[in-house]
Structure 1
């Protein structure tokens, strides 16, 4: 079996609100690049990657993988990821690996999870991800901690989720701390609480807010301050486990992070950690050093969510509910539409490979939608309500 073609398409799907974060706003839609790897036996593997329009970047890699066997992932990784350091891109490789594993599963008629050691669970609990929103369903913007606490209760009641994470670093730190205090009061002591300012807070601010939140028994404090040094400084002064999706977010930084005592929990991400097999490598290292493991969300659509669910289902120590932006999407590009939450969980897809299939009508519709809306990553770090605003790391 050989790879004979690589096809790429960009799609965008509307959200039910604009989502604010500390470097800008997702302006009412997410966009993803969809990859199709075609083999000489007619099997097509699906991949997905975010970060804006990646079609050109992936097409540059096409000559490097045409003619290769999709089972030979080590060779593909060497040719795609390890070639030249300034062209190395784990996210692009991860999309290719995802598609190769989809091909392998379809060839063998086994789910992707079987290629990673087999599932130890058939569904994954998910969180209710809280963002400060513009243009909420029904109108208006989130303006206070009460608004976000109300939304958290709504997600608990409608999706059945039993944990939340606040995307912080947007409003005043004291007001964001109040969101978690209200959620604890309204949802009880067993409801999981997390906060993630994405490293924008200064160490003094992160320590002050962390100490204020200690009695709430948070599951973790994610990237409280900038860099390995910032996380380590906060961790040494606050009695809340420190988690990260930023520092470290690649194997090069993992050993320094462990030596520095910068982190307690690492959030796995298929794209940052070099594909599903890379995530398994990460899990083995975390187990060696007794680090916790959770699952990061990168605003994925159904292809990548399927890969995330398959991968997470094979990691026994991944006991935290997974992150997901998914409940903000109004539709999906896979047949059957959006995956469904049941009792706060999403089932691991069944069937060969990823277990999902593209809906070509929706692909065409959302390709056109993308062409109308454009790549907001190309004009990133904007806030439509504050045109002169820009982020300042450590400015709070």
Structure 2
């Protein structure tokens, strides 16, 4: 079997609100680049990647893929990811690996999780991911801790989630801490709490807020301050587990991060950590050093969500509910539409390969929507309500 073609299309799907973070505002839609890896036997593997329009990057790598066997992922990794250090792109490789695993599963007639050791859970729990929102459903913006806590209660009631994470670094830090206090009060002691300012707070602010959160028994404080040094400095001064999706977020930094004591929990990400099999490698290292593992979300659509589900289903140590932006999407590009939440979890697909297929009509529809709206990464670090605003790291 050989790869004979690589097709890439950009699509965008509306969200039910604009989502704010310390680096800007998602402007009412998420966008992804969808790939189709075509074999000489007519089997097509699906992949997905974020980070803006990736069609040009994929086109540059296409000649390196043509003629390779989709079962030979180590060779593909060597030619795509390891070829030149300054062009290394783990995001792109991960999308290709996902597509190769989809092909392998379809050929073997088994789901991807069977290629990765077999599933140990039938469904994966997810959090209610909380953002300060502009243009929320029904109108208005989130302006107070009460607004965001009410959204958390809504997600607990409608999706059945039993944990949350606040994307912080937007409002005054004490107001963001108050969101977690309100959620603890309204949802009880067993409800999981997390907060993630994406490294924007100074060490002093992060320590001050972290000490305030100690009484809430939160699951972890994610990327409280900037860099390996910032996370390690905060971790030494508070009695709250430190999680990270930023430092370390690649194998190059994993050894230094462990030696420095930068984190207690590392969030896996299919793209940062070189695909589903790279995530399994990461989890083996974390197990050796008694680090916890959780799962990061990158605004994925159904193809990548399926890959996340297959991967998480095979990792016994992944005891934390996964991150997901999925509940903000109004639709999906896969046949059948959005995957349903049941009791806060999404079922692991059981069909061959990823167990999902593209809906051609929705692909066409949301490709046109992307062409209308454009690649927001060029303007992501802006805020339409505050035209002179820009991100500041360590400013609080």
Q: What is aligned with 2:241? A: 241
Deviation at 1:380, TM superposition (A): 2.3
Q: Which residue of 1 aligns with 2:324?
A: 324
Match of 2:226 in 1: 226
Structure 2 residue ranges without an equivalent (≥5): none
Residue 53 in 1 paired to residue 53 in 2? yes
Query: Could you tell me the TM-score, scaled by structure 2's length?
Result: 1.00
Query: What is the alpha-carbon distance in structure 1 between the residues aligned to residue 333 and residue 152 of structure 2?
Result: 27
After the TM superposition, which residues 85-96 of structure 1 pair with which residues of structure 2 at under 5 Å, given as runs? 85-96=85-96
TM-score (norm 1): 1.00
Match of 2:297 in 1: 297
Question: What corresponds to 1:64 in structure 2?
Answer: 64
- Pairing 1:141–2:137 present: no
- 1:147-197 per-position Cα deviation (integer Å, ceiling 9, x unaligned): 000000000000000000000000000000000000000000000000000
User: 1:150, 1:143 → 2: CA distance?
Assistant: 12
Equivalences for residues 154-173 of structure 1 within 5 A: 154-173=154-173
Please give the per-residue CA displacement for 1:280-334, whole angstroms capped at 9, x wherever unaligned: 0000000000000000000000000000000000000000000000000000000
The separation in 1 between residues aligned to 2:378 and 2:202, in whole angstroms, is 28
Per-residue CA deviation, residues 44-71 of structure 1 (Å, 9 max, x unaligned), is 0000000100011011100001000000
Residue 41 of structure 1 aligns with which residue?
Answer: 41
Calculate the aligned-residue CA RMSD, in Å. Answer: 0.4
Shift of the alpha carbon at 1:371?
0.2
Deviation digits for residues 53-110 of structure 1 (CA, Å, limit 9, x no counterpart): 0011011100001000000001000000001111100000000000000000000000
Write the distance in 2 (CA, Å) between the matches of 1:378 and 1:73: 32
Q: Which residue does the alignment assign to 1:275? A: 275
For 1:187, the equivalent position in structure 2 comes to 187
What is the Cα deviation at residue 212 of structure 1? 0.4
Secondary structure, aligned partner of 1:207: helix
For residues 72 and 162 of structure 2, the distance between their equivalents in structure 1, rounded to whole angstroms, comes to 40
Matching of residue 119 in structure 1 with residue 119 in structure 2:
yes
CA distance in structure 2 between the partners assigned to 1:97 and 1:59 by the alignment: 16
For residues 340-388 of structure 1, what are the alpha-carbon distances to aligned partners after superposition, in whole Å with 9 as ceiling and x for unaligned? Answer: 0000000001100000000000000000000000000022201000000
Following TM superposition, the consecutive aligned residue runs of length 4 or more in structure 1 with deviations greater than 6 angstroms are none
Secondary structure in 1 matching 2:191: coil
Alignment-derived partner of residue 210 in structure 1: 210
Matched, 1:178 2:162: no
Instruction: Describe the SS at the equivalent of 2:319.
Output: coil
CA distance in 1 between partners of 2:250 and 2:27 (Å)? 28
**In 1: Cα distance, 2:12 partner to 2:380 partner:** 16
Secondary structure, aligned partner of 2:349: coil
The residue aligned with 2:103 is 103
Q: CA deviation at 1:224?
A: 0.2
For residues 209-257 of structure 1, the C-alpha deviation after alignment (integer angstroms, 9 at most, x for no partner) is: 0000000000000000000000000000010000000000000000000
Q: Distance in 1 between matches of 2:346 and 2:218?
A: 23
**Paired position in structure 2 for 1:31:** 31
Count of residues in Structure 1 that have an aligned counterpart in Structure 2: 396
Q: Residue by residue, what CA displacement relative to the aligned partner does 1:20-66 show, whole Å, maximum 9, x if unpaired?
A: 00000000000000000000000000000001000110111000010
> Equivalents in 1 of 2:179, 2:96: separation in Å?
39
Report the 3-state secondary structure (helix = DSSP H, G, I; strand = E; otherwise coil) of the residue aligned with 2:19.
strand
| Unpaired runs of at least 5, structure 1 | none
Partner of 1:389: 389
State the alpha-carbon separation in 1 of the partners of residues 378 and 353 from structure 2. Answer: 33
Q: 1:365 maps to which residue?
A: 365
Instruction: Identify the residue that residue 351 of structure 1 maps to in structure 2.
Output: 351
Q: Measure, in 2, the Cα distance between the counterparts of 1:2 and 1:128.
A: 41
The residue correspondences of 1:310-321 to structure 2 (distance < 5 A) are 310-321=310-321
User: What SS does structure 2 have at the residue aligned with 1:16?
Assistant: coil
